[in-house]
C-alpha cells in the first residue's frame, strides 16, 4: 500500500461493481476490450478508458521503456510529458506527448508509446494489468512547437544539422573543450540550461531534471518541459490574459561544436468569461513572450479533448472560433454534449457545474525568419458553482386526502437516500414499506425527479384545528440526497399543508324524569377527542362512576341526579324546583366549545308543609341567582330560628305557627300564617333587608275551624310605593367589563371591542352622579342591532320587559351587585352577561359587528309601583323560541320614549372575530 501512496496519479471515484477476479499482473489483450481506445491527436497520443473498466479500482500508470516499467507519479508525469483527465464517474483520458520521455522515435516521424495500466481493487493482492502499445505517425512538425497541457508546458525546436546556424541557435567558441562535461561523449548531448525568471539561473542537466524540469534531444529537435507554477517560471499578463512563462537557454553539443538554443513557452492560466448560457475563452492573438517582430497567422483550429473539429462539427454543436484584433475567442454553449454536468453540495446546498475541455491550435509564421510556430493549448474549463435549489411541485388533491409532491430537477448523479418526517428519518425502502409511495423518474437528458405520496391519515402527518370545523394537515419533510460517486450529502426541506373542512362536531341530547337528568353524547368525526365538563367540573373517572357514565364506542350515556353538585337550581315554587345541568364539550388544547347542552327541567319538590297541629316545615334551596349563599346562614324573621339541618344546597326549617316572627292575618274564611326565609339584617329596623337578594316566603292557610295546607306562591304585591316625580338630571352609563369580576372595563379608545363567538359579554348599566339610596335602576328592555341606530333592523332581544329572553338558547344571565369600593349603592347598578353572537341570513353572516342598546327605568322601589318598577324580572314571561343566527329582522314593542322615568343608552361597536 505504501507503493500505491507514492505512485497513484488519480483515484477514480465510482460506485463499485463486481469485476472479474484476477491474480497478480494478469495480462489482458487491449484489442479484445472495447473499454480502451487509443488514437493519435496531432503531436500527442490519447488513450481513453471507459468507466466500465475502471469502476471500483484505483489506477496506476506506468511507462514501458523496453523491459523496464517506470511508474508515472504526478511529478514525473509533468516532467515527462504525460497528463490525465478523469471525470467523476471514471471516464479517463491519458495524453502522451510524442516528445515525451520513454517514447520511441524513428527520425521524429514514427513514434511508439507503451503504457501499462495497473488497476488495484480492494487490496494490492488483486491487481488487473493491461498493457497498451500504440504507434503514431506525425511529420507536420513546425520549426517550433509549443504545447500547453493541463499539468506542463512544453516547447520543442528544430535543430539544424548543417554547418549554418538556424534561428535561435548560436555556436559558442570554446577554447578549452575539456571544460565541457562529457566533451568526448555522444553528439547532441545537453550540457547546461539557463532559466530566466527573469533573472538568469544556470544549472547542468542533472540539476534541472532533479528540480522537476525535462529536457531531451531527439533526432531533429530539442525539447524542454516544465510543470506550472515552479520557481523558474513566472506569470505575465498578455493582452489582459494571465499567462505562465518559461524562458530558457539550452547549451548542447553538436557535431559542429557547442551550441546554445533560446526557447520560450507561454501558456494561458485564465481568460474565461461566463454568461448564463455561454463560455467565452480568450487567448492573446499576439503571445508577446513568443513573438519577436511581425507575424502572420496561417491556421487556427478548435478542438475538444485534444481532437480537432471540422467546421461542420463546430456548427452542429454551436461552437465559434473568431480572431479579433487582440484575442482569439472560442465560444461554447453551456450544456454542449462534449462536456458534462456535475452536482455539488457546498454547505449542504445543491449546486451544479458544467465542465468541458476545449483545445486551441494556432500556426503562425514570422516573415523575417521564415520560421513557423505551432501553438497548441488544452484548457479544461468548469463553470462556477450555480445554485439550483430543487423545484417543489405540490400535486396534492384534497378530495383524495393524499399529499403528493414532486421534487427536482436533479442530475443523474443524485440519489435519494432518505426522508425525514416528524417522527424520524426513513430510507426509501422503509418509506415504501410504510405505504408512503416514493418514485424516481429518469429523463432522456440524464436528469431526474422524485415524488412522494403520503395519506392525510398517516401517523407522520401533523393535524391541527385552528378553526372549529377545519383541520389543518401538516407534513414537514426533509429530503436527504447523496451525490455520487463522492457521496456528498445535501438536503432540501419541504413543508406541505392542506386545510379541509372535515370536522363533524359531537352532539348532545338530554331528557329528564322526576329524579334525574339523562344525557347522550354522540361522537363526531374525531371520536372521543374532547374534554367533557359537567357543570363547572371536568368529567373525571370518579365523576364518571358517580354519574354512571357508559361508553359504547359511538355514544356516551350518563345519568345525573338533579340534586347533584354539578346541577344548579334556577327557580323554586311551593311544589317543584327548576334545575339545570350544563354540559360542555371542549377541544383538548384550544378549549373551543365543540358542543354544549343546557338541560333544564322542573322536578317535584314540596318546599312547605302545613300540619294540623300548627307545625310548619320548609325547605330553602340555594338558587343560581345567589351564588354565594350559604344555606346554613339562612334564618326566619326571628334570627334565632335557624335551620334544623342544612348542607351546601338545602336548608331545612321546622317551627310552629306562633313562633319565629310568623305573622298571622285573618279573612272571612281563612287564617294566613306567613314567614320569610332570608339573610336578615342585624340592624333592628322597621323593614327587613336582604343584602344578598335571597327571599323565600313561607305561607300556610287554615280554614277557620279546620286545618288546611295551602300551596306556596311568591306573587308580588299588586301595588308598591312609588317615588313622586321630582326635578333634576339623572345620568346613566353603559360599560363593557373585561371579565365577570366587573373590576376592569373597556375604555372609549378600546372600541370596537373584538370577541369570539359565544364568548361572554359582561355589561354594566349604572346610575351616576346620584347618591339617593331610595332610587333603583331597572333594565326594562335591551336588544342588539347591526347598526348604531337603535331603531334599525334586524334586532335581537336580550332583555324583554325586565326579564331575559326566554326564547334565547344562550340566555342572558343577571349578576348580583354588592357594595364594595366602587359601588356604594347596589340599587343604582345592574349587571348582565350575554354570549357573543352574529346575525345570519341563509347561513351567511350579515355583518361581524353588533351594537347593544338598553331602555332603563329609574324607580323608587318602596313606593307604589307597577310595570317595570315592580323589580328586575319579578314577572317572568315566556317568549317565542328562536336562535341568534336565524333572526332576520324581529322588532319588539318598546316603552314610550317620552316617559319621564325612562332613559336610553347604547354600547359602542363589538366585532365578532372568526378564528
Residues 372 and 275 both lie in one domain: yes
Q: Which domain holds residue 769?
A: 732-868+900-913
Whether residue 22 lies inside any domain: the answer is no
Among the ranges given (69-73, 160-164, 223-227), the one the predictor scored with the smallest mean pLDDT = 160-164
513 falls in which pLDDT band (50, 70, 90)?
very high
Distance CA 207, CA 395 (A): 70
Pairing of strands 92-97, 104-106: unpaired
Which run of H or of E encompasses 432?
helix 428-433
Q: What is the pLDDT of residue 162?
A: 56
Q: What is the CATH number of the domain that holds 464?
A: 2.60.40
Residues 585 and 635 both lie in one domain: no
8-state DSSP, 768? E
Q: Quote the strand ranges of 142-230, DSSP E.
A: 144-148, 152-158, 169-171, 190-196, 200-204, 214-217, 221-227
Residue 663 has pLDDT above 90, yes or no: yes
Residues 152 and 261 both lie in one domain: yes
506 falls in which pLDDT band (50, 70, 90)?
very high
Which run of H or of E encompasses 314?
helix 311-317
Q: What is the pLDDT of residue 458?
A: 95
From 244, 268, 292, give the residue that closes a domain: 268
With H, G, I as helix, E, B as strand and everything else as coil, classify residue 631.
helix
Cis before 533? omega within 30: no
Whether residue 467 lies inside any domain: the answer is yes
The three-point CA angle 694-697-703 to 5° equals 175
Distance CA 604, CA 611 (A): 20
Q: What is the pLDDT of residue 89?
A: 83
Which run of H or of E encompasses 250?
strand 241-254
Q: What distance separates the 2 farthest-apart alpha carbons in the chain? A: 175
Q: What is the pLDDT of residue 464?
A: 87
Whether residue 428 lies inside any domain: the answer is yes
Residues 145 and 257 both lie in one domain: yes
Backbone φ and ψ for 511, nearest 5 degrees, come out as: -140, 175
Residues 460 and 579 both lie in one domain: no
Total domain count, the chain: 7
Q: Which residue has the cell 339573610?
A: 679
Highest mean pLDDT among 433-437, 461-465, 610-614: 433-437
From 219, 240, 268, give the residue that closes a domain: 268
Distance CA 137, CA 44 (A): 10
With H, G, I as helix, E, B as strand and everything else as coil, classify residue 207.
helix
Residues 739 and 860 both lie in one domain: yes
DSSP class per residue in 510-555: EEE-SSEEEEEEE-BTTBT-SEEEETTEE--HHHHHHTT-EE-SSE
Distance CA 506, CA 593 (A): 10
Expressed in angstroms, the distance from the first to the final Cα of the chain is: 70
Residues 908 and 819 both lie in one domain: yes
Nearest to 585 by CA among 515, 511, 502, 520: 520
Whether residue 418 lies inside any domain: the answer is yes
Highest mean pLDDT among 27-36, 209-218, 836-845: 209-218
Q: What is the pLDDT of residue 721?
A: 53
Whether residue 808 lies inside any domain: the answer is yes
**Count, residues in the chain:** 915
Residues 520 and 588 both lie in one domain: yes
Residue 86 has pLDDT above 90, yes or no: no
Residue 2 has pLDDT above 50, yes or no: no
The three-point CA angle 352-357-360 to 5° equals 145
Residue 729 has pLDDT above 70, yes or no: no
57 falls in which pLDDT band (50, 70, 90)?
low
Cα torsion 863, 867, 869, 872: sign: positive
Q: What is the CATH number of the domain that holds 595?
A: 2.60.40.3210
Whether residue 529 lies inside any domain: the answer is yes
Residue 463, C-alpha cell as written in the block: 393535524
Residues 666 and 737 both lie in one domain: no
Cα torsion 332, 338, 344, 346: sign: negative
From 587, 604, 621, give the residue that closes a domain: 604
Residues 225 and 346 both lie in one domain: no
Query: What is the rounded average pLDDT of the residues 583-610?
Result: 89
Residues 445 and 493 both lie in one domain: yes
Pairing of strands 695-703, 670-678: antiparallel
Q: What is the CATH number of the domain that holds 817?
A: 2.60.40.4100
Whether residue 247 lies inside any domain: the answer is yes
Whether residue 257 lies inside any domain: the answer is yes
Q: Quote the strand ranges of 638-694, DSSP E.
A: 645-646, 650-656, 663-666, 670-678
Cα torsion 869, 637, 624, 517: sign: negative
Residues 277 and 199 both lie in one domain: no
Amino acid at each position: 500500500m505504501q507503493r500505491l501512496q507514492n505512485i497513484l496519479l488519480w483515484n477514480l471515484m465510482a460506485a463499485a461493481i463486481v469485476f472479474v477476479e484476477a491474480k497478480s499482473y494478469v495480462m489482458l489483450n487491449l484489442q479484445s476490450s472495447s473499454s480502451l481506445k487509443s488514437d493519435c491527436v496531432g503531436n500527442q497520443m490519447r488513450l481513453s478508458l471507459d468507466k466500465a473498466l475502471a469502476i471500483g479500482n484505483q489506477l496506476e500508470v506506468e511507462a514501458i521503456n523496453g523491459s523496464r516499467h517506470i511508474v508515472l507519479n504526478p511529478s514525473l508525469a509533468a516532467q515527462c510529458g504525460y497528463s490525465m483527465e478523469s471525470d467523476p464517474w471514471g471516464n479517463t483520458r491519458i495524453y502522451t506527448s510524442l516528445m515525451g520521455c520513454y517514447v520511441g522515435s524513428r527520425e521524429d516521424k514514427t513514434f511508439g508509446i507503451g503504457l501499462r495500466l495497473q488497476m488495484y481493487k480492494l487490496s494490492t493482492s488483486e491487481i488487473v494489468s493491461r498493457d497498451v502499445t500504440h504507434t503514431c505517425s506525425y511529420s507536420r512538425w513546425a520549426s517550433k512547437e509549443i504545447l500547453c497541457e493541463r499539468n506542463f508546458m512544453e516547447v520543442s525546436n528544430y535543430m539544424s544539422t548543417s554547418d549554418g546556424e538556424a534561428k535561435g541557435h548560436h555556436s559558442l567558441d570554446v577554447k578549452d573543450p575539456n571544460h565541457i562535461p562529457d566533451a568526448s561523449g555522444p553528439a547532441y548531448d545537453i550540457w547546461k540550461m539557463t532559466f530566466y525568471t527573469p533573472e538568469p539561473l544556470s544549472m547542468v542537466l542533472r540539476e534541472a531534471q532533479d528540480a522537476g524540469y525535462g529536457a531531451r534531444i531527439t533526432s531533429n529537435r530539442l525539447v524542454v518541459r516544465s510543470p506550472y507554477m515552479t520557481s523558474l517560471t513566472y506569470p505575465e499578463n498578455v493582452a489582459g490574459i494571465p499567462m505562465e512563462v518559461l524562458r530558457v537557454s539550452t547549451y548542447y553539443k553538436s557535431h559542429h561544436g557547442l551550441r546554445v538554443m533560446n526557447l520560450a513557452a507561454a501558456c494561458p492560466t485564465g481568460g474565461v468569461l461566463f454568461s448564463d448560457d455561454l463560455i467565452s475563452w480568450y487567448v492573446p492573438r499576439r503571445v508577446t513572450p513568443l513573438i519577436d517582430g511581425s507575424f502572420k497567422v496561417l491556421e487556427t483550429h478548435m478542438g475538444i479533448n485534444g481532437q480537432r473539429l471540422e467546421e461542420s462539427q463546430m456548427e452542429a454543436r454551436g461552437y465559434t472560433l473568431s480572431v479579433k484584433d487582440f484575442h482569439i475567442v472560442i465560444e461554447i454553449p453551456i450544456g454542449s454534449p462534449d462536456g458534462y454536468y456535475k452536482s455539488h453540495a457546498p454547505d449542504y446546498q445543491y449546486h451544479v457545474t458544467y465542465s468541458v475541455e476545449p483545445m486551441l491550435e494556432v500556426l503562425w509564421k514570422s516573415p523575417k525568419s521564415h520560421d513557423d510556430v505551432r501553438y497548441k493549448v488544452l484548457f479544461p474549463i468548469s463553470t462556477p458553482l450555480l445554485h439550483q435549489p430543487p423545484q417543489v411541485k405540490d400535486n396534492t388533491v384534497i378530495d383524495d386526502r393524499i399529499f403528493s409532491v414532486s421534487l427536482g430537477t436533479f442530475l443523474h448523479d443524485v440519489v435519494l437516500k432518505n426522508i425525514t418526517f416528524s417522527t424520524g428519518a426513513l430510507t426509501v425502502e422503509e418509506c415504501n414499506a410504510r405505504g408512503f409511495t416514493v418514485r424516481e423518474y429518469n429523463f432522456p437528458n440524464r436528469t431526474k425527479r422524485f415524488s412522494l405520496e403520503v395519506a392525510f391519515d398517516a401517523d407522520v402527518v401533523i393535524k391541527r384545528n385552528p378553526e372549529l370545523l377545519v383541520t389543518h394537515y401538516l407534513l414537514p419533510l426533509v429530503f436527504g440526497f447523496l451525490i455520487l460517486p463522492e457521496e456528498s450529502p445535501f438536503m432540501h426541506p419541504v413543508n406541505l399543508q392542506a386545510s379541509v373542512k372535515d370536522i363533524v362536531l359531537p352532539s348532545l341530547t338530554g331528557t329528564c324524569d322526576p329524579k334525574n337528568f339523562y344525557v347522550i353524547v354522540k361522537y363526531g368525526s374525531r371520536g372521543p377527542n374532547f374534554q367533557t365538563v359537567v357543570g363547572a367540573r371536568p368529567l373525571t373517572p370518579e365523576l364518571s362512576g358517580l354519574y354512571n357514565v357508559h361508553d359504547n364506542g359511538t355514544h356516551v350515556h350518563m345519568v345525573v341526579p338533579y340534586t347533584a353538585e354539578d346541577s344548579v337550581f334556577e327557580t323554586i315554587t311551593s311544589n317543584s324546583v327548576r334545575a339545570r345541568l350544563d354540559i360542555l364539550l371542549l377541544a383538548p388544547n384550544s378549549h373551543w366549545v365543540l358542543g354544549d347542552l343546557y338541560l333544564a327541567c322542573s322536578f317535584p319538590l314540596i318546599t312547605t308543609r302545613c300540619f294540623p297541629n300548627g307545625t310548619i316545615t320548609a325547605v330553602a334551596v340555594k338558587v343560581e341567582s345567589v351564588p354565594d349563599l350559604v344555606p346554613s346562614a339562612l334564618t326566619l324573621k326571628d334570627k334565632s330560628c335557624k335551620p334544623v339541618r342544612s348542607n351546601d344546597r338545602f336548608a331545612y326549617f321546622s317551627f310552629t305557627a306562633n313562633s319565629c316572627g310568623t305573622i298571622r292575618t285573618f279573612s272571612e274564611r281563612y287564617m294566613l300564617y306567613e314567614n320569610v326565609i332570608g339573610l336578615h339584617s342585624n340592624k333592628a329596623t322597621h323593614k327587613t333587608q336582604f343584602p344578598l337578594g335571597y327571599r323565600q316566603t313561607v305561607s300556610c292557610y287554615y280554614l277557620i275551624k279546620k286545618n288546611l295546607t295551602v300551596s306556596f306562591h311568591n306573587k308580588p304585591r299588586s301595588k308598591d310605593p312609588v317615588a313622586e316625580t321630582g326635578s333634576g338630571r339623572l345620568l346613566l352609563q353603559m360599560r363593557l367589563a373585561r371579565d365577570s369580576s366587573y373590576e376592569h372595563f373597556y375604555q372609549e379608545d378600546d372600541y370596537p371591542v373584538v370577541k369570539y363567538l359565544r364568548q361572554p359579554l359582561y355589561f354594566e348599566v349604572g346610575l351616576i352622579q346620584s347618591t339617593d339610596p331610595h332610587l333603583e335602576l331597572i333594565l326594562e328592555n335591551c336588544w342588539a342591532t347591526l347598526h348604531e341606530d337603535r331603531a334599525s333592523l334586524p334586532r335581537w332581544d336580550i332583555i324583554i320587559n325586565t326579564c331575559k329572553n326566554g326564547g334565547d338558547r344562550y340566555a342572558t344571565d343577571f349578576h348580583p351587585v354588592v357594595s364594595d369600593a366602587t359601588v356604594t349603592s347596589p340599587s343604582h347598578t345592574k349587571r348582565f352577561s350575554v354570549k357573543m353572537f352574529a346575525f345570519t341570513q341563509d347561513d351567511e353572516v350579515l355583518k361581524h359587528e353588533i351594537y347593544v342598546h338598553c331602555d332603563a327605568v329609574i324607580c323608587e322601589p318602596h313606593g307604589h309601583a307597577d310595570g317595570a318598577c315592580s323589580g328586575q324580572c319579578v314577572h317572568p314571561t315566556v317568549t317565542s323560541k328562536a336562535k341568534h343566527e336565524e333572526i332576520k329582522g324581529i322588532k319588539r314593542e318598546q316603552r314610550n320614549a317620552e316617559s319621564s322615568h325612562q332613559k336610553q343608552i347604547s354600547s359602542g361597536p363589538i366585532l365578532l372575530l372568526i378564528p
